Structure 1
Amino acid sequence: MLRYDIAAGLTLAAIAIPEQMATARLAGFPPQIGFFAFLAGSFSFAAFGSNRFLSSGADSTIAPIFAGALALLATRGTPQFMALASFLALLVGGILVLGFLLRAGWVADLLSVPVTTGFLTGISIHIFISQLPALIGLPSVEGSEFYRVAEMAKHWREANPAAIAIGLGSLATIIIGEKISPKLPAALIALAGAAFAVRYFHLEERGVAVLGKVSTEFPHPRFPEIAPADIPQIVGLAIIIAMVIMVQTAATSRSFPDEEGRAPDVDRDYLGVGAGCVMAGLVGAFAVDASPPRTAIVTATGGRSQLSSIVAALVIAALLLFGASLLEHVPNAALAGVLMFIAARIFRLHVMRDIFAKTRGEFALVALTMAAVVALPVQNGVSLSILASLLHGVWTTTRSRLITFARLPGSSVWWPCASSGAEPYGERLEGVLVAAFQAPLSFLNAYGFQSDLREAIEEKPKLVVLEASNIVEIDYTAAGILRQAIEDCRAAGADFAIARFESVRAHEALTRFGVMKTLGEGRLFRSVDEATKALAPDAVASKITAPTLLARKSRAFRPPSASA
């Protein structure tokens, strides 16, 4: 295992060196701070995390979020800005550790794929706009994205041809290297080539900006000092950053499991990344995150354990101690090229095309999220993205409606009613209504359930059977409405039964909320057929050739044959 981990660690270091420098620059920090973040993330995750391959460190997904938000409180690069970022890292780490203690892995499921796609697309546009001045040799500009674009449009004639050549050359080198092999350290080659070009052709004299002297002093752990008035503003930002980290950590852990078929321990991975954030905050760096691309490099190069990340961290520490002078002539335009490549990699055009082709409604969610992240302050755009995802989930739940079931001829199978032209699609029992609700029953949809059932019993059935196989959860509000629905049916002269009530949690809720007492003895069955035979044994079957009112509300589909 040792030789595999050493080889993977060396490759990871070659990939991480330019990426961590570029991400630190994106966050408004000196390049060595990116290395400190990688050291903190790597060692902490190796000690506390679960996944054997996951790489933790400075990440370009969260850097624009906290950098943009903190820039409203302090000027980028100042001691105050750096102290705020370190304090933010401590808060984020604390939230992630709390997520581990509360087993909050489910939080990662709150962002849907369309919302995540729109969010990442907006972040990639942020990165592109923020790095374009460095790529073309113009001074960086603070302000909204629209203001930055307007300022660049005013001064485009002042662009530096040498910086453009360096930036585009670096970007082309990375793209070509990635095409040849993802294992090739193309970004490191691009930075080395750019630094050589700057020195050989004396490009600093032509106005090409470089990193300059890189500090080799390792920081001493200490608690960052900030003004108490800034704490309330940072707490909300910490929650947003922590949620984004949770989503990305869970996605990374699930995409690269330790063993095929074994569920990842996402909660334990929260602890590993959270410990990395705490350590990063104590050494004067910023919050760290799980990195899907770097984790993919570890698995692709044969890494077997977290020793790969430790080897990479030791290589970077050695670079800081003995080779920092090699970084002095790295041009900012080359780092901008690295970030441009990262922005292109998280711009999920193929996912957007797929969503657009299959669901225009959810593509609108992609567009809304992307526009919010770009047009608003980043933290506000991300907050709106999270809210949009939650509202979308709520809206999806509220769309659940009561549907009717028909029995497949010659069988004991009851299936949702559907129409196929004039062809018979099932049979019903005279005086029997079999209906189903295909979602958890909660305050979000219980009133719609009640309305649909009241409309259904206007046909005066003698027996109503609720097929409840998909009702896996019932809350207090829904339980009260279900009790009322049972009483409404009995007041209308119909008996009421529940069939296929399989959820243990929902069954406990019915008992706890008193629904079982209202339902009465002998009214809970293991199948619809069992319920109809027990409570309506003499009901006559008849074929149906048109959907009922309730079936017309649901999406129709052809049921399988009785033999199936």
Structure 2
Amino acid sequence: MPHDSHAKHAWPLFRSLASYSLPGDLMAGLTLAAIAIPEQMATARLGGFAPQIGFFAFMAGSLGFALLGGNRFLSCGADSTITPIFAGGLAALAAVGSPQYQGYAVALALMVGMMMLAGGAFRLGGIANLLSVPVMVGFLAGISVHIIVSQLPGVLGLKSPSGPTLDRIGVLAGELSRSNPFTLCIGLGVLATVFVSEKISAKIPGALIGLVAATLATIGLGLEGEGVSVVGSVPGTLPRLTLPELAPEHWVHLVSLAFVITVVVMVQTAATTRSFPSDPDKPADVDRDFLGAGAGSVLSGLFGAFPVNASPPRTGIVAETGGQSQLAGLAAAAIVLALLAFGTGLLQHVPDAALGGILLFVALRIIRVKQIVTIYRQSFSEFLLIAATAALIIVLPIQQGAFLGIMLSLLHGIWSTTRARLVEFERVPGTTIWWPAHPHIAGERIEGVAVIGLQAPLSFLNAPGFRSDVTKVLGAATPQLLVLEASGMVEIDFTAAQILLDVFKACSEQGVTVALARLESVRAQNAFERFRLFDALPREHVFHSVDEAVRKLAKVQ
């Protein structure tokens, strides 16, 4: 039985250990380690780092999240979603693999961690909604292409081309005939092993099985002599405190990249913790988990690694294999630590193509084909959003594409809000219900009464259009009573409040009585008080329903 404590919600640290199950967590930790070891090595290589740096990131992510996070299952560590983004950004500042590159990565991890900690402390979980689903799907598709293009040279046994992504694809296509058949067999063999294992059960460590088989084949058949490159010597070093020696202006260069990475980490952390909630009967504590992910990145920087992120697949493994708390992640981290201390010699003959095969599988898995097809069928305009986001990520330098993808998501949200226009209401015959007018639904109007509403927050984005629409209603046939059905107006900002005041005064000057119905939002009610809208609209003209307003002010029975 899992251990529980009535004080678990009061724990400031290690809250997620309050419901541990020693046998279940240790078994889940063993499975997690089997999945994480090859994945973390591969992700480190994807970013241009030595394999042990990926292990440092995993240990830091696991410890940091256990320290401050709340979700009992979430696995935090090196992640292939963010690694191509920050690797591209860092490569523009320093040569990949150089001490300067490593220093920038450490600084970036610290900055991302501090931004995540601030997001959790100030309860900014709403930032996770900055990326709409279509933009996130396009974002992942673009990232997938980057991973595939970066790993194909290793799988094909070719020299990695430089330049923009599209140019690299062209170069690789022209050199396919020069592929090394041995590396190609290893890469595709590992890819197939992981794919089949995943199809049978996510609990099977297909990546580890493929890695071990590829390594044994490389040693047994002497494939290094056939041009198969291997990881080589992995230092058995343990994490030690690392602080970057960067000038202040160099930190400034990282701010925009850190912001992009932080937004992506927030989105993925929120999605993961909501998909695998600690308690299905309670909402996920996204802000608390931001603290955990932030602590993971800070520790990762102090360990000399790079930013970390929540992993949905690894989190699913913990949940499915009996894990009850973050003890599973800590157990996996302890196994990785033991490997670093005593077993790095086992990694010397691991083929680079095997790591490439693992990453090819990751790249193919993050392309959400079913979702893309569904969006294409149900909303073609949002399918174009997927295509545009993916194109930005692929064509531009990846960190710029990612930033523009975030901006595209925000612009899409703004555009959706500005599209909200005035809706006229009609009474459903034989009832007291007032419903938005529809060409296929019979409704009735009352002489001298106009009922209007806006089914969106009223803000500076749509308030001018709202005023224009009201003017048209008043000009078409000046009513005696204008009822504003406000159930959809959940928020009113300063600009919108000034326009409402103008509308109320214009109606008064034209002899039109104005009433307000169904102002249900507490924030909108506070806005009416704060912006002194009741100075222009008598409080006795505020009603709980349109029918009540019409009966009392239009004298209709």
Q: TM-score range by the shorter chain?
A: over 0.9
Please report how far the alpha carbon of residue 538 of structure 1 lies from its aligned counterpart in structure 2 after TM superposition.
4.2
Query: Which residue in 2 is equivalent to 1:320?
Result: 340
Please report how far the alpha carbon of residue 323 of structure 1 lies from its aligned counterpart in structure 2 after TM superposition.
1.2
Check whether the contact 1:443–1:477 (CA below 8 A) recurs between aligned residues. Answer: yes
User: Where does structure 2 lack aligned partners over 5 or more consecutive residues?
Assistant: 1-20
385-394 or 402-411, which deviates more: 402-411
5 Å matches for 1:278-289?
278-289=298-309
C-alpha distance in 2 between matches for 1:349 and 1:214: 37
Number of residues of Structure 1 aligned to a counterpart in Structure 2:
536
Check whether the contact 1:454–1:488 (CA below 8 A) recurs between aligned residues. Answer: no
Amino acid at match of 1:59: D
Amino acid at match of 1:213: S
Q: Which of 383, 388, 395 is the equivalent residue of 2:415?
A: 395
Q: Which of 448, 458, 463 is the equivalent residue of 1:431?
A: 448
Please report how far the alpha carbon of residue 114 of structure 1 lies from its aligned counterpart in structure 2 after TM superposition.
0.2
Amino acid at match of 1:535: L
Query: Which residue in 2 is equivalent to 1:139?
Result: 159
5 Å matches for 1:432-511?
432-458=449-475, 459-511=477-529
What is the DSSP-based 3-state SS (H/G/I as helix, E as strand, rest coil) of the residue aligned with 2:444? Answer: strand
5 Å matches for 1:144-223?
144-223=164-243
Please report how far the alpha carbon of residue 143 of structure 1 lies from its aligned counterpart in structure 2 after TM superposition.
2.3
Please report how far the alpha carbon of residue 94 of structure 1 lies from its aligned counterpart in structure 2 after TM superposition.
0.7
Q: Which of 327, 337, 353 is the equivalent residue of 1:307?
A: 327
What is the DSSP-based 3-state SS (H/G/I as helix, E as strand, rest coil) of the residue aligned with 2:325? Answer: coil
User: Where does structure 1 lack aligned partners over 5 or more consecutive residues?
Assistant: 540-564
What is the DSSP-based 3-state SS (H/G/I as helix, E as strand, rest coil) of the residue aligned with 2:263? Answer: helix
What is the DSSP-based 3-state SS (H/G/I as helix, E as strand, rest coil) of the residue aligned with 1:519? Answer: coil
Normalised by the length of structure 1, the TM-score is 0.94
136-145 or 247-256, which deviates more: 136-145
Check whether the contact 1:145–1:375 (CA below 8 A) recurs between aligned residues. Answer: yes
Q: Which of 495, 498, 515 is the equivalent residue of 2:533?
A: 515
Query: Which residue in 1 is equivalent to 2:350?
Result: 330
Amino acid at match of 2:551: K
Asked whether 1:120 is paired with 2:140, we answer yes
Check whether the contact 2:73–2:325 (CA below 8 A) recurs between aligned residues. Answer: yes
Check whether the contact 1:25–1:31 (CA below 8 A) recurs between aligned residues. Answer: yes
Please report how far the alpha carbon of residue 150 of structure 1 lies from its aligned counterpart in structure 2 after TM superposition.
2.7
Asked whether 1:53 is paired with 2:70, we answer no
Amino acid at match of 2:517: A
Check whether the contact 1:137–1:164 (CA below 8 A) recurs between aligned residues. Answer: yes
What is the DSSP-based 3-state SS (H/G/I as helix, E as strand, rest coil) of the residue aligned with 2:514? Answer: strand
5 Å matches for 1:223-234?
223-234=243-254
What is the DSSP-based 3-state SS (H/G/I as helix, E as strand, rest coil) of the residue aligned with 1:433? Answer: strand
What is the DSSP-based 3-state SS (H/G/I as helix, E as strand, rest coil) of the residue aligned with 1:219? Answer: coil
Query: Which residue in 2 is equivalent to 1:536?
Result: 554
Check whether the contact 1:54–1:290 (CA below 8 A) recurs between aligned residues. Answer: yes
C-alpha distance in 1 between matches for 2:518 and 2:539: 16
Please report how far the alpha carbon of residue 410 of structure 1 lies from its aligned counterpart in structure 2 after TM superposition.
1.5
What is the DSSP-based 3-state SS (H/G/I as helix, E as strand, rest coil) of the residue aligned with 1:405? Answer: strand
Change (3 A) 1:145 1:523: same
Q: Which runs of 4+ in 1 moved over 3 A?
A: none
Amino acid at match of 2:272: T
C-alpha distance in 2 between matches for 1:280 and 1:368: 33
Query: Which residue in 2 is equivalent to 1:292?
Result: 312
C-alpha distance in 2 between matches for 1:146 and 1:302: 44
Query: Which residue in 1 is equivalent to 2:370?
Result: 350
Q: Which of 32, 42, 65 is the equivalent residue of 2:85?
A: 65
Query: Which residue in 2 is equivalent to 1:86?
Result: 106
C-alpha distance in 2 between matches for 1:355 and 1:519: 44
C-alpha distance in 1 between matches for 2:382 and 2:175: 39
What is the DSSP-based 3-state SS (H/G/I as helix, E as strand, rest coil) of the residue aligned with 1:302? Answer: coil
Normalised by the length of structure 2, the TM-score is 0.95
What is the DSSP-based 3-state SS (H/G/I as helix, E as strand, rest coil) of the residue aligned with 2:435? Answer: strand
C-alpha distance in 1 between matches for 2:91 and 2:556: 76
Amino acid at match of 1:426: G
Q: Which of 538, 541, 545 is the equivalent residue of 1:527?
A: 545
C-alpha distance in 2 between matches for 1:219 and 1:502: 55
Check whether the contact 1:460–1:493 (CA below 8 A) recurs between aligned residues. Answer: no
Please report how far the alpha carbon of residue 233 of structure 1 lies from its aligned counterpart in structure 2 after TM superposition.
1.5
What is the DSSP-based 3-state SS (H/G/I as helix, E as strand, rest coil) of the residue aligned with 2:426? Answer: strand
Check whether the contact 1:511–1:517 (CA below 8 A) recurs between aligned residues. Answer: no
C-alpha distance in 1 between matches for 2:174 and 2:108: 36
Query: Which residue in 2 is equivalent to 1:74?
Result: 94
Please report how far the alpha carbon of residue 149 of structure 1 lies from its aligned counterpart in structure 2 after TM superposition.
1.8
What is the DSSP-based 3-state SS (H/G/I as helix, E as strand, rest coil) of the residue aligned with 2:536? Answer: helix
